[in-house]
Structure 1
Amino acid sequence: MQLRADDALTHPGSLLAPDGRIIAPYDLEQRDTEIGEHLALASQPGILNAAAHPFELDYSQVAVAHVINGMGVTLGDSIIGLTALDAILQAHPQVRFVVYRPRLAPSYVEQLYALAEGSVATTRALPWPLDAIPSDEARIDIGNHLFWPGFMSKPMIDFFLGALGVQPASVPSAHKANRWLQALRLPPLPDVWRDRPYVLFCPTASTPIRSIAQPVRSALVSRLFEHFGLPVLGFGAVDHPHYVDVSAFSPDTAHFLAWVRHARYMLTSDTAAVHIAAGFDVPTTAFFTTIAPELRVRDYPLCRAVVLELPELRNVQASEREQDMARLNAAYALAMRGELPFELLPTASPDGTAAETREP
């Protein structure tokens, strides 16, 4: 199938250039050059693309699976996409996954794949010649998944499993909670925080409409300090005497993961931090504005979701329009009038490890 230049960027799949190389639509979007015409990769023989033709793959018979243009260019999507691969590996450890990534994806996202290299998947950068991927091995196209039918209506982990040819119901919920993160080698915290308990405040998502509203951030820090009696650490400035901005001590994705891993509790929004916390079994409260929480945190038993009433913005992926931000601020102001559903907080033993659970 030949794609015109104006269709290539939103095509539900990867692209094939005239020279036979597989191209990520995202990479074309990032370049200030003529897009030209491309073929749909899914139109080529032997390419599996569930958006074009749903399929099931018997992974017990698979030695190598090539995942082309997975798993998106955001940190949250990538965590969940890699969780889908890990869930398959739990049942079929003989499989080796090779993931082909957009070359121009953000560096902080690529750092996650570097951390997972060799344990969950091996990564390669697009463009990549199609004829260099063995035709007798599984070749699965998940390119441009943001534009696939079902992406906005299914839990994200189920979407990725289906795109990989797996029935989501066949995977236990415990394998959908990102716990492969616990096997990563992460840096230690700075000495001053290494043995000190803290709660974590992660208010900023990839778009303002899914972030915690600026006007209530200081008040939320107060709630956290009053409830837990612990210092509140976070990323970005918040004017509060019990808040510490640790952005300078989080220069990369590995350090960010470490800060979440060692938190006693976390308050966040619909962002990557909520998926990281689930992977490390960190109790969490998360605000949801435009996305239904069951599509994101259904399999996270320690996450308590707070749904803000914003029906006009349902399923909006990104926005910073003035009228939308006014609605967001009003919804947060209303939520602040009530109690927030904080979970139980694990106490610490003398050596700094979690010991038992108590009411704060």
Structure 2
Amino acid sequence: MEKIGNRPPAPPTLLEPLDELAALTHPGSLRSPAGEIVASYDLEVTDAPVAGFRPLSSRDGILNANVAAFVPNYASQKKVHVINGVGVTLGDSIIGLTALFAIRKRHPQIEFTVYRPSRAPRYVQRLYELAAPALGPVVDLPVALDRLPPGDLKIDVGNHLFWPNFSTLPMIDFFLWAMGMCAADVPPEEKRNHWLKTLPPRPHLRDGAGYVLFCPSASTPVRSIPAALHGPIVERLWDEFGLPVAGFGAVDHPRYTDVTAHSPDTADFLNWVRHARYVVTSDTAALHIAAGFDVPTTAFFTTIAPQLRARDYLYCNAVSVPLTGLAGIQASSQARDLEAVDEAYHKLDLDRVLFSVSR
């Protein structure tokens, strides 16, 4: 009789398939019935069927900090695979890449391969193309699981919006933790997105001409500055700086210019922020870019605590606009919520908060 000890190990048991809701909100990436790594974001935006999809797991050789903490030996690694990283919005992606660059600073031998949801917005994908020469290749999902070399370090950061720590940690600390790093070991100056300064310079329409930048529209209306305040804010910026105000979207004010048509590419958007004398925004992408270039900024926060996004930004005047009952929500365009936003903004003393340092 064959001894049990001489038998080859049994293959790991796959986790049970997820139902549709669980697959789309799973805090991690998915494994398809065909053995491919899949981003649930891609399934959601294409309304694709999700039958038979399972969680990607350590049984597949993939680490996920939301499942189990890990401390990788980066010093021994040459290639690190970041699965489904690091976001489908521009702001999240800037911060996630900051975490990867912090690792590269300590371990310059590492080449990252970042596997991305293929359906993410083009302007977000463009950011990864700009970062790739300094960081490593970017690959669209899905990819076959067995395509990833078995000896390389593989870390899943997929669908991070549904990770509990994403709502409670400053975003840069979250991404460092998700990559197995101790956030406290990374000094604040490395958390300010300065990797953006290393991107190749581009010609700019306003080179040599001073302007202030106004970015009042966030990714969701509940985090945006109400339209009724756009004109008064532009007027206040003109009074303060004596410079024309540029921005994205229409504002009825003689000192304001909509430069949307002159910002067709993510690199152009970076340039508009980079060369501004001052930025006023409720768009965290503009905030993170301004921090990367050390541009003084006033940033308004409604449903999210300022310290979760702007804690390490030396030149940021973070203004909290309290919204009772709406704290922590990711998005809303409901009329009652927008009425609450409008009321909260109108309670602010703009002359006092626009340029006061509230850190």
TM-score, normalised relative to structure 2: 0.93
Aligned positions of 1:209-220 closer than 5 A: 209-220=222-233
Q: Does 1:31 align with 2:46?
A: yes
Q: Distance in 2 between matches of 1:209 and 1:324?
A: 7
Unpaired segments ≥5 residues, structure 2: 1-14
Residue of structure 1 equivalent to 2:303: 290
Structure 2 residue aligned with 1:75:
90
Work out which of the two has the higher radius of gyration on C-alpha atoms and give 1 or 2.
2
**Is residue 257 of structure 1 aligned with residue 265 of structure 2?**
no
Matched residue, 2:239: 226
For structure 1, the residue ranges without an aligned partner over 5 or more in a row are: 345-360
Contact 1:155–1:296 (8 Å) recurs in 2: yes
Question: SS at 2:257's partner residue?
Answer: strand
Give the Cα–Cα distance (whole angstroms) in 1 for the partners of residues 350 and 42 of structure 2: 45
Q: What is the aligned partner in structure 2 of residue 105 from structure 1?
A: 120
Conservation of the 8 A alpha-carbon contact between 2:30 and 2:56: yes
**Superposed CA offset, 1:222-254 (max 9, x none):** 111101111111010000011011111001101
Query: Corresponding residue for 1:353?
Result: none
For 2:153, the equivalent position in structure 1 comes to 138
Q: CA deviation at 1:46?
A: 2.0
The alpha-carbon deviation at position 91 of structure 1 amounts to 1.1
Shift, 1:300, TM fit: 0.5
8 Å contact from structure 1 (residues 302, 343) kept in 2: no
- Is the 2:296–2:316 Cα contact (8 Å) retained in structure 1? yes
Mean CA deviation greater in 84-93 or 179-188: 179-188
1:318 aligns with 2:331: yes
Please report how far the alpha carbon of residue 337 of structure 1 lies from its aligned counterpart in structure 2 after TM superposition: 5.3
CA apart distance, 1:338: 4.8
Q: Is the 8 A contact 2:216 2:283 kept in 1?
A: no
- Cα deviation 1:277-299 (Å, max 9, x = unaligned): 00000000000000001000111
Counterparts of 1:145 and 1:43, CA distance in 2 = 17
For the 8 Å contact 2:215–2:283, the answer to whether it is kept is no
8 Å CA contact 2:29, 2:159 repeated in 1? yes
Deviation at residue 57 of structure 1 after TM alignment: 1.2
Contact kept, 8 Å, 1:283 with 1:343, in 2: the verdict is no
Whole-angstrom distance in 1 between the partners of 2:350 and 2:288: 27
User: What CA deviation, in whole Å up to 9, does each residue of 1:292-315 have, x standing for no partner?
Assistant: 010001110000101012121100
Deviation string 1:22-75 (CA, Å, 9 cap, x unpaired) is: 000000001133221212111524210001111111211111110000011000
Higher share in strand:
1
CA contact (8 A) 1:210 1:271 kept: no
Corresponding residue SS for 2:184: helix
Q: Which amino acid aligns with 2:234?
A: V
Say what the alpha-carbon RMSD is for the aligned residues.
1.3
Tell me the residue number matched to 1:195.
Answer: 208
Give the % identical residues. Answer: 54
Corresponding pairs, count: 342
Say whether residues 1:272 and 2:261 are aligned partners: no
CA distance in 1, matches of 2:181, 2:172: 11
Partner amino acid, structure 2, of 1:148: W
Per the alignment, in what secondary structure is the counterpart of residue 190 of structure 2? helix
**Matching of residue 342 in structure 1 with residue 352 in structure 2:** no
Describe the shift of the 1:33–1:337 C-alpha distance in structure 2 as closer, same or farther (beyond 3 A). Answer: closer
SS at match of 1:118: helix
Write the distance in 1 (CA, Å) between the matches of 2:47 and 2:146.
Answer: 28
The 1:337/1:31 distance shift into structure 2, 3 A limit, reads closer
1:235 to 243, 248, 253: 248
What residue identity is the alignment partner of 1:282? V
1:270 Cα deviation (Å)? 4.3
